[in-house]
Amino acid sequence: MMRWLWVAVAAMYTVSTPAALPAPKVEKITERVYALLGPEGLPDKKNEGYMVNSTVIIGEHGVILIDTGFNDEIGTHIGEAIAKLTPKPVTHIINTHHHGDHSLGNSAFPGAQVLSAQKCKELLESDGYMWIDIIQNVLERKFPNTKLVPASVTFADGSTTERAIDGVKLRFIVPLGSHTPGDMMIVLPDEKILVAGDIVVEHMAPSFRDANVKNWITTLGKIAALDVKTIIPGHGPLMLPKQVPEMHARMSKLYAAVETGYKKGLTDAEIRKSLDLSEWKNMVSFEQLMGGNVNRTFLEIEQENF
């Protein structure tokens, strides 16, 4: 009897103990810029919620970190990866948008100045606790040390701002709401690098959850005019600029097909059955995201035609 009791206790301990966080794939782009590529996929117990790409920019005195992960543990995990690249501390954080996988790790870097689009700040303040609930429900445990740390420096809708931080030239581009209402892209002009957040993703199906799809397509079209050689997407491997038109074409085709179905009087369910999604089906998380993506597009088109 005692033996079975100990087996049961051991099993309970195994279930409640979180798995080790996966190591990021470290891609050196230049002497001072590294991409930390997280696993591909939605947050789950296998990846422990770590599934975002972060960018490390080593300045004269500290590190500028773009996107910090889904909770304080992931932020600390990213910080440990940074410590293997440089002894300099993280002094600045940039959030490309408010979604939890990009912003909730901010709390792992006390004292760092946070920058984002103004609407990203507002959305993190209003929706941030919902994102904490999401990751706690997915992983079935609490993160009491994960706090909301919104930006203290923000950039307005539609703005482009040139700024040097710790000796690094940066260009902050805030498009009209695309993947979310509070997106921001960052260009490093000297290195010809674009950090795109989830406006650009590779291998992954994009999430339309908070999107303005029509604006997003327009934003993708404008990326072609940027003088960059390397793109760090929000999820997936590093990209070349020539790959962005492929995403632009896929999303344009999807939008046009849903709009055509709407104008024929079809419901969103009927439209989903009629769509050719062969270009999307091999993408990670296609099954989980694509139905919602079509529905979001349908609702946007319906609102435009109301």
Residue 7 in this model has a pLDDT that exceeds 70? no
Q: Predicted confidence band at 75 (pLDDT cuts at 50, 70, 90)?
A: very high
DSSP track, 182-235: T--EEEETTTTEEEEETTS-SSBPPP-TT--HHHHHHHHHHHTTS--SEEEESS
Q: Report pTM.
A: 0.93
Quote the CA–CA distance of 8 and 214 in Å, as a whole number: 54
Spatial contact of 91 and 61, defined as CB atoms under 8 Å apart: yes
**What are the residue ranges spanned by the domains of the chain?**
16-304
What's the rounded Cα separation, in Å, for the pair 297 and 255?
7
Q: Which residue bears the tokens 């002094």?
A: 91
Mean pLDDT check: name the lowest of 12-16, 64-68, 131-135, 293-297.
Answer: 12-16
- H helices of the chain, in order, are 2-16, 72-83, 100-103, 118-139, 213-223, 244-263, 268-274, 286-304
Given a cut of 60, whether residue 10 has pLDDT beyond it is: no
How does DSSP classify residue 25?
E
Confidence of residue 18 (pLDDT cuts 50, 70, 90): low
pLDDT at position 17? 54
Least confident of 77-81, 97-101, 273-277: 273-277
Identify the band that residue 19 occupies on the pLDDT scale cut at 50, 70 and 90: confident
Instruction: Read off the pLDDT of each residue in 32-38 and give the average, rounded to a whole number.
Output: 98
pLDDT digits (tens, 9 = 90+) for 233-268: 999 999 999 999 999 999 999 999 999 999 999 999
Task: Reply yes or no on whether the pLDDT at 6 is more than 80.
Answer: no
- For the cut 90, the answer to whether the pLDDT of residue 97 exceeds it is yes
Position 256 scores a pLDDT of 98
By DSSP bridging, strand 54-58 and strand 63-66 are antiparallel
Instruction: Please give the angle made by the CA atoms of 235, 241 and 242, to the nearest 5 degrees.
Output: 110
- Specify the pLDDT at position 58: 98
Write down the CATH superfamily of domain 16-304: Ribonuclease Z/Hydroxyacylglutathione hydrolase-like (3.60.15.10)
Distances (CA, A) of 20 to 8, 47, 166: 22, 8, 33
CA 43 to chain centre: 12
Q: What is the mean pLDDT of residues 95-110?
A: 98
For residue 162, the 8-state DSSP code is: E
Contacts of residue 290, defined as CB under 8 A and 6 or more positions apart, other chains included, come to: 205, 277, 280
On whether the CB atoms of residues 241 and 224 are closer than 8 A, the answer is yes
Distance separating alpha carbons of residues 46 and 22, to the nearest angstrom? 9
100 band by pLDDT with thresholds 50, 70 and 90: very high
For the stretch 111-116, contacts whose Cβ atoms lie closer than 8 Å and that sit 24 or more positions apart, written own/partner, are: 112/65, 113/152, 113/153, 114/149, 114/150, 114/151, 114/152, 114/153, 115/151, 115/152, 115/153, 115/154, 115/155, 115/172, 116/150, 116/151, 116/153, 116/154, 116/155, 116/182, 116/184
What does the pLDDT look like over 160-194, one tens digit per residue? 999 999 999 999 999 999 999 999 999 999 999 99
The answer on pLDDT for 112 being more than 90 is yes
For the chain, the average pLDDT equals: 94
79 token code pair:
């910080």
Cβ atoms of 137 and 104 closer than 8 Å: no
Closest to 38 (Cα-Cα) out of 58, 18, 66:
66
Nearest Cα to Cα of residue 70 among 30, 33, 91, 43: 43
